[in-house]
Amino acid sequence: AAAAPAVPLPADEPPPPLRAEFGIAHLLPGTVITSRIALSAYYPEDWEVRYVTFLVNGKPFHATNRAPFQATWDPSGLDPGRYELAIKVTRGAGEAVVSPPLGVEVRSPQ
């Protein structure tokens, strides 16, 4: 007898999003932001990090060479809508890499 074709079982819940190797910690895609927010960079422990530049829509808004690499982002002057946050990490040998963008939603405070 021929085997019945395999039918995938429905998942109870979608798999968690894959976390990039480095990026902005403690934010999920689609997070709604209405006021100033503290941002922190994460990256592999074995990286020799010299600088972290925080980016909004690809443009730098804060750079630091001090660990823990953090910034405060104040979107109060921005139009409501979708923005992409990322970090550019400059490593020991001068190599700079940019994290995948993290989409967030800026809204006016209620």
pLDDT tens readout for residues 74-103: 999 899 999 999 999 999 989 999 999 999
Is residue 59 included in any domain, yes or no? Answer: yes
Is residue 42 included in any domain, yes or no? Answer: yes
Residues spanned by the domain of 53: 23-106
Is residue 53 included in any domain, yes or no? Answer: yes
Is residue 58 included in any domain, yes or no? Answer: yes
Is residue 10 included in any domain, yes or no? Answer: no
State how far the alpha carbon of 104 is from the alpha carbons of 9, 28, 40, 80, 84, in Å.
Answer: 32, 8, 15, 11, 6
* 65 within 8 A of 73, measured Cβ to Cβ: no
**pLDDT, position 25:** 94
Per-residue pLDDT tens over the stretch 4-57: 666 665 556 555 555 688 999 999 999 999 999 999 999 999 999 999 999 999
Is residue 18 included in any domain, yes or no? Answer: no
The count of domains in the chain is 1
- The CATH code of the domain that includes 35 is 2.60.40.10
CA angle 105-56-81, nearest 5°? 25
Residue count of the chain: 110
Is residue 92 included in any domain, yes or no? Answer: yes
